[in-house]
Structures are given as C-alpha cells and as structure tokens.
Amino acid sequence: MRTLIHHSAMKNMRKKIKTAISVIVIVFMTMFFCPSMTTLHAEENSLMMATTTSTDNTGLLDYLMPHFTTDTGIDIKWTATGTGKALKLGSNCDVDVLLVHAPAAEQKYIADGFGKDRTEIMYNDFVIIGPENDPAAVKGKSVVDALETIREKEAVFTSRGDDSGTHKKEKSLWKSTGKDMPEKESWYVQTGQGMLATINITEERKGYTMTDRGTYIKYNSQKNGNAPLKVLVEGDGILLNQYSVLTLNPEKCPNAKYDLATKFAAWMAGESAQNLIKEFRLLGEKLFIPNAK
Amino acid sequence: MDFILTGLLNALALLTGGDSATWSAVFATIKVSTISMLLSLILGLPCGFCLGYFNFRAKRALRTLLDTLLALPTVFIGLLVYAIISSQGPLGNCNLLFTLWGIAIGQSILAFPIIAALTASTVESIDPQLELTLISLGAGKKDIILTSLWEVRYGILAAAVTAYGRVMTEVGISMMVGGNIKWHTRTITTAIALETGKGMFANGIALGLVLVTIAFGVNLSLAFLRKK
C-alpha cells in the first residue's frame, strides 16, 4: 500500500518535471529562431574595422558605410574605441583594417611591422573649448599660450586620459609648452572616457578641454546649437587632425583580409567617398575635410 | 533633469514604433543571455547539486572558491575571454571574437558560480528528515535524488533568476568581447553605454527601461511556471 502511494506520487512528480522541462525547452527554442537573427559567424566577404570614437559618434560611418557596401558588395562591421585600443586590436590581428588619427603612432606602427599601407583620407582640426565667459581668458591665444594660462590659473582642464588619438595629441601639445605634463595636478581631470562623454564632464565642471571639431559640432547640435562650451582656441597650425586608413601587414596577420582592406582604403580615397565626406554636415557645418591624394 | 521624462517617452516610442536598431539590440540581448543561461545551467546545476548533496573532503575549499568567483568583475572576465579567443589566443581559429557566442562564453563564466553556489546552498537546506522518510517509504537511491531535486525546485528557479539578472545587465563582457557592433553584437547594455557616452542621456534611459521591461516579462513567465 505504502509503495503504491509512493509510486503514484513519484509518477505525478515526474510528470510535473517533464512539463516544466518541456515548457522551458519550448521557450528557449522560440527565442533561438527569432526572425531578425543575424548570422553569428564572420562571413567571407565582410570586413572588420577598428576605428575611433570620433568617426562613429559623429554619425559619419553610419552615413558612409552603406555606400561602401552598395559600391563594392563588401559588408563592413566596426568597433569604435580609442586609437590606442584600435591599434592594439590590429596588432593582435583581431580586425582587418583600421581607421585612426594618430600619425606619429601610425608611422611607428608600420615601422614595427604591424601595419602595411597608410592612406590619408580626411582631416579636421582640434580646438580648445571652454565656458563662454572664459574665466582663464584664453580666447584667441595660441595653443602654447592658452595652455600656459590654464596651468598658471589652475583652471579645470579635462583630458581623455585613455591613450586615444585625441589624448596623444593633447599630450604632445602640453609637451610643446616645454614643461611637464600636469599629470597629478588637482585641476587636471583625466576622464578615461570617450570624447563626447569628456565634453559633457567638462561642461559639468565648467572647465576647458581639447576636442576634435567634428565631435564638438555633434555636441553643439545636441544642445540645439546653444552649447555652454564655446570654441576658444582654433586655427593654430599644430591643431591639424589627420585621419588615415591603415591596412595590416599580411605577413604578421595572414588571416586578416588584406585584399578587402586594400579595396576599402582605395574606396575611401576614391572620388565618390571623398565627395560624400565633403557633403557630410551637422548644423550646416562640415565635420571632415577630404584630403586623399 | 528633463531627460528622465524624455527618456520615459522615448522608451514608449522605441518599443511601439518598431525602431529596428533597438529591436536588433533587444534580440541580441535575449539571444546571448539565453545561450549563456543554457550553458551555465547545464554546467552549474550538476556541480551545485553534487556540492550540496554529497559530503567529501574538498567540499569546504570548493565552496569557498565558488563563493569567491561570485565576485569576478565583468570587465576582468571580458579581458580573460578576449585573451583566449583573440586571434593570437588559444581559441583564435574559432572566430569567436566580436560574435554573440564569444559574449555568451564570458557570460557563462559570470553565471556559472551564481547557479552552482545558490544550488548548493538550497540543496544543503533540504530537511534531513526527508531522506529518512523516503527510505522508510521504500524509495531507492534514484528516487531519493529525484525527490530531493523536486524539493529544491524553487531554490533552483531563484538561482536561475538571479543569474539571468546578472547576465542580462552586465556590460563589461559584451563591450570587450562583442565590440558593440551595430546590428551584430550591440546589446541593450552596450547601447546604453554608447548613448551615455554620446551625451544622449534620454536615449540611455529609454533603453534602460526597455531592458527592465524584458526582465519583467521573463520574471512574469517564471512566476507563472511556479504557480503551475
């Protein structure tokens, strides 16, 4: 009798477990066959690019890359990080091509054997921005004078601090003042974040920062052209910001798609892409100026 | 602070308006968290059960190790998985980097200790009288284990819900291993990080609300299962 009760109870229990398991399995199966699923593996005819936050955050790539795919039939995916990490992803052969902006680092990269060809594509310029009332009075000064004044008055200056192309440029500007980096000064704030995030922090701290003009225009457009931070220092020759496509050395990275990467570089330097870059505007302002040779 | 209200309205617009970029992130999130939950349940449940049910010498040491793994930071897991699946790493040939499978591996490492540790705890809490009663009713070893499992079903469900919450909301692994690639590996959390980085706070809040809505849906269906 006892065993009889026990058996029927066990049967019931197993039934319940079975129902629970089948419900879970059905739920998982439906999730797996969701309609808009994209393929999980890298296709043959697709490129993986590492690029900088400035090309992505401004919306340039979202605008430009569909044209590339239409013209060449090559799919392209990209991950946007600082130039430092982008170069690292390249030297680990985890991507096929790079779009970066740190000429000195790029040349060293090729000399070290990681990169193969460097194609200059476009430029914009860096600017120093700060609060409209300009408490440290740097407006209209040269870069060196402006940075000297910021240092003297200990005005808040935010830095990317992430070894990105912009950060490398900023460090070289501090070096050009002939003094040490203000590395541990309390007024020198290293955010470790992307350019737009850094600009937003600068706004909160009512400080100064150096940014590429493209990202500044994007930020200004988010504030409906009425941003509290204004361009104060610009036009100095050392503020030029050159963007280039780097292909990886096929000897170091045999799996990277060198052929497709070369096609990409040629397309970016070609007439149609150069015209598209010229037409790309925010708030009626050009963000990048094409200069492929 | 008006971006909180704008975010709320945007969330409604994103969910009802069929914004394809948002839905792509939603599907990526659901897909990757499902894969990682399956993997971590398959590995974590048996390990947790054995650890809680049987007595052996290294038991305490293993429990301590497992509890320590609960504190693994997601960026660190992301970095470890990157090192393994990078084309220079041991699994470089599998092409897992910048894919959802790569993220799923990292998230399984994140979820495994949660599932195993919580399952072990709940199995340990089974009333010792149960086994005696079952033996006196004439049950065999297999029946005892099955009954014990059935007794702790809610505990296991709680472990799964906790792990699911952790997996769905992590951002470090998805960013490092997935690369936040639009239409492919952009999950809701990496999209939030991106929008916040771009200063589009309202969009970030909207996506956060979308994520909470999904979590609510999952928990609602689990609560339904529990009632049954």
The per-residue pLDDT for range A168-189, each reduced to its tens digit, is: 999 999 999 999 899 889 999 9
Interface of A with B in 133-192 (CB under 8 A): none
Neighbour count for residue B210 (Cβ, 10 Å) = 24
- The arithmetic mean of pLDDT across residues A163-169, rounded, is 89
- Phi, psi angle pair for A156, to nearest 5°: -65, 125
B-chain CB neighbours of A17 within 8 Å are 146, 149-150
Chain A partners of B27 at a C-beta cutoff of 8 Å?
34, 36-37
Cα dist from B132 to A146, B17, B136, B137, whole Å: 83, 59, 6, 9
Q: What value does the mean pLDDT take over residues A152-166?
A: 92
Residues in A closer than 8 angstroms to B221, CB to CB, are 27
Q: Which has the closest alpha carbon to B212: B8, B1, B3, B2? A: B8
Helical axes A2-32 vs B201-227, angle rounded to 10°: 150
What's the average model confidence in pLDDT over A147-165?
Answer: 93
Which residues in chain A have Cβ-Cβ distances shorter than 8 Å to B137? 2-3, 6
Contacts of B29 (CB under 8 A, 6+ apart): B168, B187, B188, B189, B211, B214
| pLDDT at residue number A6 | 54
pLDDT tens-place string over residues A43-79: 678 999 999 988 998 899 999 999 999 999 999 999 9
Q: Which fold has domain B22-186?
A: MetI-like fold (1.10.3720)
Element (H, E) at B4: helix B2-17
- Cβ–Cβ of B225/A20 closer than 8 Å? yes
Residues in chain B whose beta carbon is closer than 8 A to a beta carbon of chain A? 20, 23-24, 27, 30-31, 34, 38, 86-88, 95, 97-101, 137-139, 143, 146-147, 149-150, 153, 179-184, 196-200, 221, 225, 228
> What confidence score (pLDDT) does residue B1 get?
63
pLDDT classification of A91: cutoffs 50, 70, 90: very high
Confidence band, pLDDT 50/70/90 cuts, at residue A165? confident
Residue with tokens 């792990």: B163
If one counts every other C-beta atom within 10 angstroms of the C-beta of residue B174, the result is 30
Q: Give the pLDDT mean for A282-291.
A: 88
Tell me: pLDDT of A122 over 80.
yes
What is the dihedral sign for C-alpha A259, A261, A265, A268? Answer: positive
Tell the CATH topology of A46-124+241-290: D-Maltodextrin-Binding Protein; domain 2 (3.40.190)
Output the pLDDT for position A34: 41
pLDDT per residue as tens digits for the range B24-83: 999 999 999 999 999 999 999 999 999 998 889 999 999 999 999 999 999 999 999 999
What's chain B's Rg over C-alpha atoms?
21
Residue B172, min C-alpha distance to chain A (Å): 14
Q: At A29, is the pLDDT very low, low, confident or very high (cuts 50, 70, 90)?
A: low
Q: Tell me, what DSSP letter sits at residue B140?
A: -
ipTM summary value: 0.75
Give the whole-angstrom CA distance, residue A285 versus residue B85.
Answer: 42
- Comparing A13-27, A119-133, A146-160, which segment has the lowest mean pLDDT? A13-27
Option in A79, A196, A197 nearest B181 (CB): A79
Same topology between domain A46-124+241-290 and domain A125-239: yes
Picking from A34, A94, A196, the nearest residue to B97 by CB comes out as A94
Task: Reduce the secondary structure of chain A to three states and give it as a string.
Answer: CHHHHHHHHHHHHHHHHHHHHHHHHHHHHHHHCCCCCCCCCCCCCEEEEEEEHHHHHCCHHHHHHHHHHHHHCCEEEEEEECHHHHHHHHHCCCCCEEEECCHHHHHHHHHCCCEEEEEEEEEEEEEEEEECCCCCCCCCCCHHHHHHHHHHHCCCEEECCCCCHHHHHHHHHHHHCCCCCCCCCCCEEECCCCHHHHHHHHHHHCCEEEEEHHHHHHHHHHCCCCCCEEEEECCCHHHEEEEEEEEECCCCCCCCCHHHHHHHHHHHHCHHHHHHHHHCEECCEECCEECCC
Chain B residue numbers touching A249 (CB-CB < 8 A): none
Predicted TM-score (pTM) of this structure:
0.79
- Min mean pLDDT across A20-34, B55-69, B113-127 is at A20-34
| Whether pLDDT at A1 is above 70 | no
Res A14: pLDDT: 65
Mean pLDDT across chain B: 90
Percent of chain A having pLDDT more than 70? 85
Strand pairing category for A208-212 and A240-248: unpaired
If phi > 0 it is left, if psi is from -120 to 50 it is alpha, else beta; for residue B15 that is alpha
Cβ–Cβ pairs < 8 A, chains A and B? 100
Crossing angle of helices A195-205/B188-197, nearest 10°? 50
Confidence of residue B13 (pLDDT cuts 50, 70, 90): confident
**The CATH number of domain A125-239 is 3.40.1110.10:** no
Chain B residues whose beta carbon lies within 8 Å of the beta carbon of residue A57? 197-198
Residue B207 has pLDDT above 50, yes or no: yes
**Whether the predicted pLDDT of A198 surpasses 70:** yes
Residue B40 tokens read as: 């971590």
Question: Which residues of chain B does A77 touch, with a Cβ-Cβ cutoff of 8 Å?
Answer: 98, 181-184
**Alpha helices, H only, B18-152:** 20-53, 59-69, 74-85, 100-124, 128-136, 141-151
What are the extents of the domains in chain A?
A: 46-124+241-290, 125-239
Identity of the residue in A34, A57, A255 whose CB atom sits nearest the CB atom of B87: A255
Q: Is B171 helix (H, G, I), strand (E, B) or coil?
A: coil
Question: Which of B24, B34, B197 lies closest to A36 in CB terms?
Answer: B24
Closest-CA distance, A289 to chain B, in angstroms, reads 22
Tens-digit pLDDT profile for residues B143-184:
888 888 888 988 999 999 999 999 999 999 999 999 999 889
Q: What is the pLDDT of residue A162?
A: 87
Q: What pLDDT does A38 receive?
A: 38
Residue B38: the pLDDT is 95
Cβ(B130)–Cβ(B205) below 8 Å: no
d(CA A287, CA A281): 6
Domain ranges of chain B: 22-186
d(CA A145, CA A88): 34
